[in-house]
Structure 1
Amino acid sequence: MSTRLVQITMKAQDDSALGRFWAQALGWGVDSEGPGVTNLEPLGFSYPAPEAVCIDIVARPEPKTVKNRVHLDLATTSAAHQAELVARLEDLGARPADVGQGEVPWTVMADPEGNEFCVLEPRPVYRGTGPIAAVVLDCTDPREMARFWDGAMDWTLLEVTDDHATMRSAQGVGPYLEFLRTPGTKSGWNRVHLDVRPYPGDDLAAEEARLRALGATDPGIDRSAISWTVLADPEGNEFCLLAPR
């Protein structure tokens, strides 16, 4: 048994408006599984598949108050493409953001609800990922995060250092999952989190037990109105274990 990363979930005060922003930013299609939920995936995509990590945007009334611990890095193919993408995103409603990055070759931005993301300078490693180069998690211990998520998923662990760890689908397609050592610790619940799924035929309860044995914990969220399982990784980052599919 194992899981794989299939999507990230963002909380938003206006899921429809934020969905329109990210759909235009990525060139993806927009759908909705119900009121208060906006679903984004590449056009013609057959979910779930390793070629993309999709985005679900879920309405919540609380405003964003702290820097997100999960963010997206967007890929570019040239310096001109990077500049053009930054300008287009600003036209869509994004704005420059300062998270203490200093002088760096990438551009840090925030979407219309303040969610930080980066527009990277062209890097050969991200050729072929699609518009999302990487899903990035801030953490205090990349080695421990890599240990947990390497056991939790069937993705390939590509690099582990004291400051950074990187994973990617075993098929070698789609975006990377990266763990970046950053100062500070988690404060409050994450407005952006990972969603993972087991494979068809896997037992959901057994998969939950396996993840708990690896170090997942119960974040204490009321599950009475939801059909999926909410867990937290060893640094307290909430994630959802969805039904096998």
Structure 2
Amino acid sequence: MATRLVQINMKARNDSALGRFWAEALGWGVDSEGPGVTNLEPVGFAYPDPAAVCVDIIARPEPKTVKNRVHLDLATTSPAHQAELITRLRELGATLADVGQGDVPWTVLADPEGNEFCVLEPRPVYQDTGPIAAVVVDCVAPREMARFWGRATDWTVHEVTDEHATLRSAQGVGPYLEFLRGPDTKSGWNRVHLDVRPYPGDDLKTEEARLRALGATDTGIDRSSISWTVLADPEGNEFCLLAPR
């Protein structure tokens, strides 16, 4: 048994407005499964598919107060493309952000609700990922995170060091999942988190038990009104286990 990383869940005070920003940023389509929920995926996409990790934006009233532990890195194909993309994103409402990055070849921006993301310089490794190069998670121990997420999902571990770890879907398509070592510890619940799904025919309760045996823990969130399971990885980052599909 295994799960698949199928989408990123992002909280927003105005889900539809933030959805429009990210749809324009990624060149994706916009849909909604109900009030307060905006779904983003590539046009013509058959969900779920490892070729893309989709984005669900969920309305929540709380404002963003700390740096997100999960963010997106956007891919570019040339220095000109990087410059053009940064200009276009700023015209859409993104602003420059300082997270202590110093003098680096990528640019750190924040979306209209303050969520940090990076526009990377062109890198050969990301030339076939689509607009999202990587989903990046700040952490204390990349090796431990690679161990957990490499077993929790069927994604392949590509590189592991004390400073970072990299995974990608077993099919070798779509964005990477990366864990970067940083000095900050988790504070409060994550406004951006990962959503995973088991494969069709798998049993949800069995998969939950397997994830717990690997090191996932309970978050204490009331599950009486939801159909999915909310767990936390070994560093306390919340993630949702959705129904098999």
TM-score, normalised to structure 2, is 1.00
Q: What letter corresponds to residue 130 of structure 1 in structure 2?
A: G
SS in 1 for 2:217: coil
Counterpart of 2:176 in structure 1 is 176
Counterpart of 1:60 in structure 2 is 60
- C-alpha distance in 1 between matches for 2:99 and 2:82: 19
SS in 1 for 2:118: strand
User: Per-residue displacement from partner, 1:111-142 (whole Å, max 9, x unpaired)?
Assistant: 00000000000000001100000000000000
Counterpart of 1:148 in structure 2 is 148
User: Per-residue displacement from partner, 1:222-242 (whole Å, max 9, x unpaired)?
Assistant: 111110000000000000000
Q: What letter corresponds to residue 30 of structure 1 in structure 2?
A: V
SS in 2 for 1:193: strand
**What is the aligned length?**
245
SS in 2 for 1:80: helix
Counterpart of 1:217 in structure 2 is 217
Q: What letter corresponds to residue 181 of structure 1 in structure 2?
A: R
SS in 2 for 1:230: strand
The structure 1 segments of at least 4 consecutive aligned residues displaced by more than 2 Å after TM superposition are none
1:121 aligns with 2:121: yes
1:241 aligns with 2:241: yes
Shift of 1:33: 0.3
Equivalences for residues 41-56 of structure 1 within 5 A: 41-56=41-56
Equivalences for residues 19-58 of structure 1 within 5 A: 19-58=19-58
SS in 2 for 1:220: coil
Counterpart of 2:106 in structure 1 is 106
Q: RMSD of aligned C-alpha atoms?
A: 0.3
Counterpart of 2:79 in structure 1 is 79
Q: Which runs of 5+ in 2 are unaligned?
A: none
Q: What letter corresponds to residue 191 of structure 1 in structure 2?
A: R
- C-alpha distance in 1 between matches for 2:158 and 2:128: 17
- C-alpha distance in 2 between matches for 1:226 and 1:158: 35
The percent identity for this pair of structures is 84
- C-alpha distance in 1 between matches for 2:90 and 2:184: 29
- C-alpha distance in 2 between matches for 1:225 and 1:104: 45
Shift of 1:184: 1.3
Shift of 1:188: 0.1
- C-alpha distance in 1 between matches for 2:219 and 2:63: 21
SS in 1 for 2:103: coil
Q: Which runs of 5+ in 1 are unaligned?
A: none
- C-alpha distance in 2 between matches for 1:77 and 1:197: 31
- C-alpha distance in 2 between matches for 1:22 and 1:76: 16
User: Per-residue displacement from partner, 1:170-215 (whole Å, max 9, x unpaired)?
Assistant: 1110000000001110000000000000000000000000000000
- C-alpha distance in 2 between matches for 1:114 and 1:120: 18
- C-alpha distance in 1 between matches for 2:9 and 2:240: 9
1:92 aligns with 2:99: no
- C-alpha distance in 2 between matches for 1:26 and 1:150: 27
Shift of 1:89: 0.1
